[in-house]
Amino acid sequence: MPPRSWDIFCTVIDNYGDIGVAWRLARRLAHDHGHAVRLWVDDLASFGHIAPGLDPALPRQTLAGIDIRRWPPSGFPAGIVPADAVIEAFGCRLPDSFEAAMAAQAVKPAWINLEYLSAEDWTLSHHKLPSPHPRLPLTKHFFFPGFDAASGGLICEDGLMAARAAWQADDAAQNDYWLRRGLPPRIPGDLRVSLFAYRNPAAATLLRAWADGPQPVRCLAPEGKVLPDVAGLLGRALKAGDHARLGNLDVHVLPLSDQDDYDRLLWGCDLNCVRGEDSLVRSQWAARPMLWHIYPQDDDAHIAKLDAFLNQYCAGLPAEMAAALQALNLAWNRDGDIAAAWREAAPWLPAWREHASNWQQRLLKDGDLATRLLHFIAEIG
């Protein structure tokens, strides 16, 4: 029987990525499927940056119809009755007392380890695998998000594609958005770019290429880890609300916003530089060219993950275009010759935009992550 209630557990690792995914999944299940969702988070202060209505001082509160609880580092609350389905976001370890409470249920909850997003082939062979508990009568199943029809898919709300297409076709709505965020409206011929990345020395090189280039570029950078690299190029400290100009480049530093406003930022730009997992997925739904800064790992393990994604993303493209897009993403992640890579990729932007639109339609052909997850739980139920 499909679940009607959920417990989602999330530990905040890199400030926004993990909780961003957990929050989107919670909203998807609650708003589009009408399920009761309880979200356990260990760092409400970081959570509050992407959910402005949240009060980090309250250990229990309701936001957007979702029951939000602080997950204490010790002394998990007694007497909590587990929901029909329990999600461990990205392998976070459930409290022992909660596992015991799950085992005590007459009907055991569906227990899912929601893994990190990857396009690597090995994830498909591990997707949906069971993992029996060593002591308790419980079985956990691994669920891998992905870009393949055989994977767990990606989170996407009902009606999102129609809302995005309508907004992108509405000049007045876009101008209102830019004005509300303290930005000028679009002007013919400018390139509007969002910049959200980890620390990245290639950022200053790419921005310098834009500053020296023939086309006006307006770079919109939400507060984040890449700002010191941008500040080094501009020779001044940067904070939310700042605007700086260098040659043909205008840089605007934006305060962090809620997830809906971030979506609109992606929808309104010609190129989106994104990082980690949540913003990568949202850039797919924007149907715009994107540059992914993948989370760096030891021994360049992240490059294998990047290559796996790019192989899927570029499949079927003209060879020259695919090579340009792959080289640009690799230079961005390896501090390569990003200026030269940009010069090769820039002429492909119109075709790249068309590809981005076709790609997001393909990703949703077999349903989004929540839909696939519900089907899977019904299978094992």
The catalytic residue positions are 18, 277
CA angle, corner 364, sides to 361 and 365, nearest 5? 85
Tokens 């690799």 sit at which residue? 330
* CA-based R_g, the chain, Å: 21
Which runs of consecutive H residues, i.e. helices, occur in 314-337? 319-334
Tokens of 2: 């499909």
CA 370 to chain centre: 15
Q: With CA atoms as reference, report the closest residue to 198 among 224, 164, 217, 175.
A: 224
Where b means 16+ CB within 10 Å and e means fewer, 251-282 reads: bbbbebbebebbbbbbbbbbbbbbbbbbbbbb
Tokens of 32: 């589009």
Tokens of 244: 């700086």
Tokens 């393990």 sit at which residue? 301
DSSP 32-98: IH--EEEEEES-HHHHHHH-TT--TT-SEEEETTEEEEE--SSSPPTTPPP-SEEEEETTPPPPHHH
- Is the separation of the CB atoms in 144 and 118 below 8 Å? yes
